[in-house]
């Protein structure tokens, strides 16, 4: 599912309550909150009281992005304040041990874990940690200030990460933050991003409710053009939770080559059962194979998902 996360870095604090209500009624999924200490990012933004206040008035997911030098010092208080997701920067940790320690602290607080990287940080630097987090945040501008232009190379980074995630059978959100607007959001979605952070293009708009709804409409239209089809073949039952999730999110489920029994394990009712993969209509098969994403869960399970999904 594609999620919209308006960033309150761009909110007008004089109309704070009204603008939160506008994005909520417009269909926002998250509220993205940038926390800055003036060191890691050369700006100051959002403290514990803002999160506490939002938690009292909003049921939306509170997505806290720590742009700070010492993220471990902030985790407990933001968790207590009501954050649902706490994201920290890999660049703020001195080594891999500290990254794992920070991940562990966030999980111990009962929160989802996000790992962020600046535009000048290579994707290879985070791949080791990807299986241990819920979300990776790709910054498409340098942290600190709203209104910057999206750095095009960030889209390649997202594509490569999506390929890695799907190829590894991981259940992971990919978030992008910085310079996203109506003109480029389709490119962001095509790159495999499924959590879209938008600041100025929502809060800088004369009608915040309408701009929020417009982004959600774009997401819905995008999903209509990208049918997600999952094919179950013989399997041994590994990764049941993940496989059930991708089947639940699929538009069409096909079982072949003994996969019906495997689907039963997952409590999934397939839309189509065929004797083997070659029995699937040739044109449909071609459409599968032209899909941007091919999700191979594992060779041993022989469970495949072809097509594109948000």
- Is 166 considered catalytic here? no
- Is 34 considered catalytic here? yes
Sheet containing 293-296: which strands, arranged edge to edge? 272-274, 252-256, 228-232, 303-307, 293-296
Is residue 308 within 8 Å of 292, Cβ to Cβ? yes
Please tell me which residue in 29, 37, 173, 177 is annotated as part of the active site.
177
Q: For residue 24, give every residue at least 6 positions away whose Cβ sits within 8 Å of its Cβ, in sequence order, or none.
A: 58, 60
Three-state SS at 109 = coil
Please tell me which residue in 34, 37, 63, 166 is annotated as part of the active site.
34
Nearest C-alpha neighbor of 26 from the set 198, 226, 250, 223: 198
Q: For residue 279, give every residue at least 6 positions away whose Cβ sits within 8 Å of its Cβ, in sequence order, or none.
A: 256
The DSSP output letter for 235 is: -
Positions annotated as catalytic residues are 34, 177
């Amino acid at each position: 599912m594609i999620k919209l996360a308006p960033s309150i870095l761009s909110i007008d604090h004089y109309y704070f309550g009204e603008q939160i209500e506008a994005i909520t009624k417009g269909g926002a999924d998250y509220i993205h909150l940038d926390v800055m200490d003036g060191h890691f990012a050369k700006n100051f933004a959002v403290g514990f009281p803002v999160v506490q206040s939002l938690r009292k008035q909003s049921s939306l997911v509170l997505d806290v992005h720590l742009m700070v030098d010492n993220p471990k010092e902030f985790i407990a208080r933001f968790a207590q304040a009501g954050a649902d997701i706490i994201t920290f920067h890999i660049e703020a940790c001195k080594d891999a041990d500290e990254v794992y320690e920070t991940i562990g602290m966030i999980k111990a607080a009962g929160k989802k874990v996000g790992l962020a990287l600046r535009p000048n940080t290579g994707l290879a630097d985070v791949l080791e940690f990807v299986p241990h987090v819920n979300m990776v945040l790709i910054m498409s501008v340098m942290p600190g200030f709203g209104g910057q232009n999206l750095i095009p190379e960030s889209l390649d980074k997202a594509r490569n990460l999506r390929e890695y995630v799907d190829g590894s059978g991981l259940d992971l959100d990919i978030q992008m933050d910085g310079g996203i607007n109506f003109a480029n959001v389709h490119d962001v979605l095509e790159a495999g991003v499924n959590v879209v952070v938008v600041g100025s293009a929502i809060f800088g708009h004369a009608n915040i409710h309408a701009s929020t709804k417009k982004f959600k409409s774009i997401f819905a239209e995008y999903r209509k053009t990208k049918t997600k089809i999952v094919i179950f073949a013989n399997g041994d039952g590994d990764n049941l939770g993940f496989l059930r999730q991708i089947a639940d999110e699929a538009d069409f489920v096909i079982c072949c080559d003994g996969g019906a029994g495997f689907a039963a394990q997952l409590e999934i009712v397939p839309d189509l059962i065929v004797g083997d993969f070659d029995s699937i209509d040739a044109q449909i098969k071609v459409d599968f194979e032209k899909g941007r994403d091919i999700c191979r869960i594992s060779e041993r399970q022989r469970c495949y998902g072809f097509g594109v999904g948000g």
